[in-house]
């Protein structure tokens, strides 16, 4: 049940341990980690693992989800247990935050105010109305020695509190860059105008957040240089922490292959293209729709037996399954993603907008799958066209890349093996987490 906006969410006030604590703040709900596997959760898990590697005990403030009701100690304990069970981390959950729409001020006025300052934007007003500042202040009053702010909204709220200690700010995507790429895509003239008008306020908020943090984390080297220059801080204060995943166990794909028949019969003869993602994230939904409309007819014309599978949550954001063209399958959320990968001949990433790096491509590379992606889709990963992936931007070029790999299995296998070797070298989650933990330990030791 929701509490009144005037009553802050309660949390367990058990005393902190003497060795010190790290407060982790995220706008993500953490009540269903078994199903929450997409990139943003994978990154948060890696960062929390790094914070645990400092030797500090972990405290968490996260968003209220749908599977855990209430804000009492039992509800918080269930979220803590989920973190332990699914991520292998011991963490004390201090509070479950929520957003409450500000109904006192017309929404268009909130949007206009957000163009002056992001702190007055509808999202921030909803956070304040939901009592998030009170929850965070109470968490800071417990005197953590380190804070991890996951994404810009969390850092912006923390900057509005008192007593912020050494802060690690995970920006991941550079928000104003993502915003610029999507500017003007709104359906109405008003949405397009507001999108352009709020960019300066978003840029100011980014600068303030980065200047307040001890370290700001981004996914790619180019982003690090851009952000340091943009915010006027030294390059030492912006650190590249790439997305990482656990290395698959030896032979895991072979085992998955034996289970693959559960998806489409005893023997899947049709060549299969695969995209993995959560499609309520607009760049994924947009990319999938664009591929189906513009690229798929060209592939299907040359290979009438081919299929393209879209695996991941919220497939309705792509369209109605019953209205998809021949050969297009919307699988939705899949429990056994290894079996899906085992059947795929080529993994595609037809992303047109967005930012950061695509965890789904690291996932595919670690499994040795040949990849055809837009240049933007593979941005920041360091893949070289023709060596670890085929980078193709126009619909016709992407269709040709897919067909090239379908027609030349040996070439596809070589590309997949090169991608696997590269990903193992650069995107090992444990290695990345330990490197970040070491930086934090040195900072804490220096005082």
pTM strictly above 0.85: no
Considering Cα of 379, then 26, then 204, then 437, what sign does the dihedral take? negative
In this prediction, residue 306 carries a pLDDT of 96
Q: What is the pLDDT of residues 331-386, one digit of tens each?
A: 998 888 889 999 999 999 999 887 666 888 999 999 999 999 999 999 889 899 99
The mean pLDDT of 435-447, rounded to a whole number, is 92
Q: What is the DSSP letter of 391?
A: E
The CATH class of 252-426 is: alpha beta
pLDDT at 1 over 60: no
Pick from 182-196, 252-266, 353-367, 413-427 the range whose average pLDDT is largest.
413-427
**Do the bridges between strand 371-373 and strand 238-240 make them parallel or antiparallel, or are there none, so unpaired?**
unpaired
* Backbone dihedral angles phi then psi of residue 163, each to the nearest 5 degrees: 80, 35
The yes/no answer on whether domain 21-244+429-446 falls in CATH 3.40.190.10 is no
Q: Cα 244 from chain centroid?
A: 11
- Rounded to whole angstroms, the Cα distance separating 361 from 374 reads 11
CB 227, CB 171: distance < 8 Å: yes
Percent of the chain whose predicted confidence (pLDDT) is above 90: 62
Residue 5 or residue 377, greater confidence: 377
User: What are the start-end ranges of the H helices in 382-408?
Assistant: 395-407
Mean pLDDT computed over 91-98: 94
The chain-wide mean pLDDT, for the chain, equals: 87
What would the mean pLDDT of 196-215 be, rounded to a whole number?
A: 92
DSSP code of 316?
G
Rounded to an integer, the average pLDDT of 31-45 is 85
Tens of pLDDT along 150-195?
999 999 999 999 999 999 999 877 887 777 777 756 567 777 787 8
What was the pLDDT predicted at 14? 39
Task: Say if residue 256's pLDDT is above 50.
Answer: no
β-pairing verdict for 166-172 and 215-218 = parallel
Evaluate whether 152 touches 160 at the Cβ level (below 8 Å): no
For residue 143, the model assigns a pLDDT of 95
In the chain, the N- to C-terminal Cα span, in Å, equals 42
**Domain limits, CATH 3.40.50.2000, in the chain:** 21-244+429-446, 252-426
For residue 80, count other CB atoms closer than 10 A to its CB: 20
């Amino acid at each position: 049940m929701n509490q009144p906006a005037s009553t802050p969410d309660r949390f367990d006030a058990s005393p902190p341990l003497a060795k010190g604590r790290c407060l982790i703040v995220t706008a993500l709900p953490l009540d269903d980690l078994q199903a929450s596997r997409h990139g943003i959760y994978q990154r948060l898990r890696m960062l929390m693992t790094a914070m645990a590697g400092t030797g500090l005990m972990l405290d968490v403030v996260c968003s209220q989800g749908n599977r855990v009701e209430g804000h009492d100690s039992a509800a918080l304990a269930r979220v803590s247990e989920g973190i332990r069970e699914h991520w292998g981390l011991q963490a004390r959950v201090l509070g479950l935050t929520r957003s409450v729409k500000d109904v006192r001020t017309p929404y268009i006025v909130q949007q206009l105010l957000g163009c002056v300052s992001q702190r007055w934007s509808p999202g921030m007003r909803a956070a304040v109305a939901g009592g998030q500042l009170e929850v965070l202040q109470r968490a800071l009053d417990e005197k953590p020695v380190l804070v991890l702010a996951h994404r810009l909204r969390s850092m912006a709220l923390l900057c509005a509190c008192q007593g912020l200690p050494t802060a690690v700010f995970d920006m991941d995507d550079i928000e104003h860059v993502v915003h610029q790429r999507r500017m003007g895509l709104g359906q109405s003239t008003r949405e397009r105008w507001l999108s352009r008008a709020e960019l300066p306020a978003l840029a100011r908020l980014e600068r303030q957040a980065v200047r307040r943090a001890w370290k700001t984390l981004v996914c790619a080297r180019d982003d690090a240089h851009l952000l340091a220059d943009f915010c006027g801080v030294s390059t030492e204060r912006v650190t590249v922490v790439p997305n990482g995943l656990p290395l698959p166990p030896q032979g895991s794909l072979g085992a998955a292959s034996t289970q693959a028949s559960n998806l489409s019969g005893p023997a899947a003869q049709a060549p299969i293209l695969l995209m993995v993602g959560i499609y309520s994230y607009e760049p994924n939904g947009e990319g999938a729709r664009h591929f189906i409309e513009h690229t798929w007819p060209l592939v299907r014309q040359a290979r009438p037996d081919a299929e393209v599978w879209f695996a991941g949550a919220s497939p309705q954001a792509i369209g109605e399954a019953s209205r998809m063209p021949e050969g297009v399958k919307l699988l939705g959320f899949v429990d056994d993603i290894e079996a899906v990968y085992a059947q795929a001949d080529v993994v595609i990433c037809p992303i047109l907008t967005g930012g950061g790096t695509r965890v789904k491509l690291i996932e595919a590379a670690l499994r040795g799958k040949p990849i055809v992606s837009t240049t933007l889709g593979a941005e920041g990963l360091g893949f070289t066209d023709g060596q670890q992936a085929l980078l193709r931007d126009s619909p016709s070029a992407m269709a040709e890349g897919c067909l090239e790999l379908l027609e030349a299995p040996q070439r596809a296998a070589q590309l997949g093996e090169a991608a696997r070797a590269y990903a193992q070298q650069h995107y090992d989650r444990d290695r990345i987490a330990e490197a970040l933990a070491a930086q934090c330990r040195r900072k804490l030791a220096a005082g």
